Amino acid sequence: KHIFNAQVSIRAPCCKQWFDCAECHAETQDHMLKKTTEMAFMCKKCKKAFRKDMSNYEESDEFCPHCDNHYVVDAKTPQAVIGVEGEDARVDARMLKDDRVQQDPTRSIFSRDFSDRVG
């Protein structure tokens, strides 16, 4: 909610619960977040927990040590697009039929006389 595309959860050292960010902890708990130099993280991709020493935190520490997943993936802002909601057009193209082009009702396979060809 506060950090879009967060790829890790943080374990609060005070109440031992998992949160996506410090703001989520502040909204749901009635106590302040306890400060610590060693934080526990859990990767949302590989579901493995790990600890990081925050006193000498570097940019290379922004990746999961198990699966090399980056902690925060850049959020993409949605663009407004007009489109047709429905199934994939490559699978079912019935929604793409253009009703503005009317078919000639006299041209049909049923309007022809095939009596001489049928037995």
Instruction: Report pLDDT for 75.
Output: 61
CA dihedral 11, 17, 22, 25 (to 10 degrees): 180
Instruction: Report pLDDT for 56.
Output: 81
Per-residue pLDDT band for 57 (boundaries 50, 70, 90) equals: confident
Mean pLDDT value across residues 62-82: 75
Q: Residue 74: how many CA atoms within 13 Å on its side-chain side?
A: 2
pTM of the model: 0.52
Q: Across all residues in the chain, what is the average pLDDT?
A: 76
